[in-house]
Structure 1
Amino acid sequence: MVKIGIIGCGRISHRFMQGLAAVVNAQYVGAWARRAENVQEFTAKYGGTAFSSAEELLASDIDAVYIATLPDSHAHYSTLALNAGKHVLCEKPSMVNLQQLEPVLALAKQKNLLFMEGMKPPFFPAYRKLREHLINDPIGDVAYVRAGSSVADLPPDHPNFSYEGIGGGIMAILPYEVFLAAEWLGNTLEMQTLGHIADNKVDMFAIIQSRHEKGYSQLYCGFDLHGKGDALIAGTQGHITIHKNWWNPQKVTIEYLDGRIVTLDEPFAAGGLNYETEHFCQLIQDGKTESPIITHHLSREMMRMLDLSRAQIGLRFPGE
């Protein structure tokens, strides 16, 4: 069993616990957060130890931590955990920028520990089934990705609207879309971003066009419009639609140039975070220090795309 502690007790940590209950090779130990009342509420609901500090949690007999704080502190807690000899599963986006990510990846390599960004879509059953299907029945060379989501019904106090907490559409939603573009199309060669920054100092809507080694992508993200939330992957012999909500993939339609249509419908369980967590724990048990799916190179490329997008609309966060 991989013993896991949690840093951060906000919304995403509750979804993580829903998934963790379905992971057979993981054991929850306890949690810590910056607000003591959140820790008490969390451990009252899920059990485990309510640690009084991050240092106390990291000094316990856990093997790994799940970092579920806002992105402003991902680098700090990842560094603390790695220096304490613990493997790290860090919620997306991995850091505020590439300048923060590089030393964390270097530290993980130095310490011979696993650092993995929490990017859930590729671990869902439907996405895995899609990848397996395409091995024997491909859609040719993939050269175009279109994906996005805009969520217009978040409450005003949602952390995605926090400038200090590194909020906004680019940091909260676009990580999923840049994952899809970078995974299917390779490194980014050119990018164009249009968007607007609201009075709360975070971006409320942005559209992104990018040119990659293998083709082109068109992406969007935001909070003041209601978007569809599906994804399109186009190749020379067909195209794939991952139906909404594509980042929690369940239904996939593959339409071929010869007229064939293949539908994949693979329900997911326990909220979906269980699949990435199971993968993370298996890597630890196998002695691996990097995921072959969410590689360090892929995390770098996703972070670089977020950096470029923000730079092009003039969005800088505290300390940058």
Structure 2
Amino acid sequence: MIKWGIIGCGRIAQRFMQGFAAVDGVQLVASFSRRAVTVDDFVAKYGGAACYTVEDLLASDIDAIYIATLPDSHAAYSIAALKAGKHVLCEKPATVNLPELDEVLAVVKETGLLFMEGMKPPFYPLYTRLKEYLATAPIGPAGYVRAGSSVADCPPDHPNYNLDLVGGSLMQIGIYEAFLAIDWLGDLEDVQTMGRFGETGIDMFAIFQTKHAGGFSQLYAGFDLHGKGDALIAGPLGHVTIHKNWWNPARATIDYLDGRSVEINEPFSDGGLNYEIKHFCDLIKAGATESPVISHQMSQQMINMIDKARAQVGLVYPGEQSQESRVRNQEF
């Protein structure tokens, strides 16, 4: 039995518990939120003890912690949990920037504990089956990726719009696209970014194209246009379409140069986070310190891409050592 604690009891923690209920051999022991009423409501629904300080949570009899807070606190909570002897599954993005992630990974090395960023798409049945199919019927090495998501229905009070809480389309959505490009095209070599800011100082819409060891990508992310979309992965012998919503993948089409077309359908269950949770638990049992799927290097590559994109448009979060001023309410 792997005993879990949760830091942060908001929207994503609720979805985490939907998947958690479908995984064998796990138990929720304790939860913490910065707001007492939030953690009280959470434990009333899901069980376990309510903790009103993070110190109380870390002193609990738990093996692993899921960090479900907003990105501004990911690094601090990850380091505290690791130093308390707990394995850490931290929601994406793992940290605000690459230097913060390097600090976390230094503690991982010191403690010998498991740390993984919660990047869900590669654990879905569709994604794993697609990779397996292409291993025997390839489209050739991928040379181009196109993907994006723009969600225009976030409520006005959503944390995505909050600069202090590390909101913005690149950080909240673009990190998914960063994963897809790196997973298929390899190491990042260059980034070019354009877009626009909103009234709260966050990037409301961004387009970024990237150059990798294996090819090129064209990506977008935003909050003021309706652009929930698919993803395209192209190789010399064909291309793959992961149909919308590609970040919760359930259906893909492979179109080959010779005219063949193959449909792959793999519905997901229990909200989709159950596959990621099971993978993490398997890693704990194996004594691993990182995932071979979302490795530490993968997390470094992803946040490095977002760092470079933010630097080009002048998006800086409070507390970061940064450029002279923040660009607001204008075209990048």
Aligned counterparts, 1:189-200, within 5 A: 189-200=189-200
* Paired residue type of 1:208: F
* Paired residue type of 1:197: F
- Residue 142 of structure 1 aligns to a residue whose secondary structure is coil
Structure 2 residue aligned with 1:137? 137
Which structure 1 residue ranges, 5 or more long, are not aligned? none
Aligned counterparts, 1:264-275, within 5 A: 264-275=264-275
The answer to whether the 8 A contact 1:238-1:255 is kept is yes
* Paired residue type of 1:270: D
State the distance in 2 between where 1:293 and 1:130 align: 15
1:277-313 per-residue CA deviation (whole Å, 9 max, x = no partner) reads 1000110011111100000000000000010111111
Give the drift of 1:25: 2.7
Number of corresponding residues: 320
Structure 2 residue aligned with 1:97? 97
Give the drift of 1:228: 3.4
The answer to whether the 8 A contact 1:241-1:254 is kept is yes
- Residue 171 of structure 1 aligns to a residue whose secondary structure is helix
The answer to whether the 8 A contact 1:241-1:252 is kept is yes
Structure 1 residue aligned with 2:311? 311
1:14-59 per-residue CA deviation (whole Å, 9 max, x = no partner) reads 0000000001132111200111110001011111100121111111
State the distance in 2 between where 1:139 and 1:35 align: 50
Structure 1 residue aligned with 2:325? none
State the distance in 2 between where 1:131 and 1:24 align: 26
Aligned counterparts, 1:106-117, within 5 A: 106-117=106-117
Structure 2 residue aligned with 1:77? 77
Q: What fraction of aligned residue pairs are identical, expressed as a percent?
A: 62
State the distance in 2 between where 1:146 and 1:204 align: 19
Structure 2 residue aligned with 1:247? 247
Aligned counterparts, 1:168-187, within 5 A: 168-187=168-187
Which structure 2 residue ranges, 5 or more long, are not aligned? 321-332
* Paired residue type of 2:133: H
* Paired residue type of 1:7: I
* Paired residue type of 1:179: F
TM-score, with structure 2 as normaliser: 0.96
Structure 2 residue aligned with 1:153? 153
Structure 2 residue aligned with 1:291? 291
Give the root-mean-square deviation of aligned CA atoms: 0.6
- Residue 3 of structure 2 aligns to a residue whose secondary structure is strand
* Paired residue type of 2:12: I
Structure 2 residue aligned with 1:14? 14
The answer to whether the 8 A contact 1:145-1:216 is kept is yes
State the distance in 2 between where 1:141 and 1:279 align: 27
The answer to whether the 8 A contact 1:89-1:118 is kept is yes
* Paired residue type of 1:110: E
The answer to whether the 8 A contact 1:25-1:282 is kept is no
State the distance in 1 between where 2:138 and 2:222 align: 32
* Paired residue type of 2:228: K
State the distance in 1 between where 2:91 and 2:198 align: 25
State the distance in 2 between where 1:48 and 1:68 align: 16
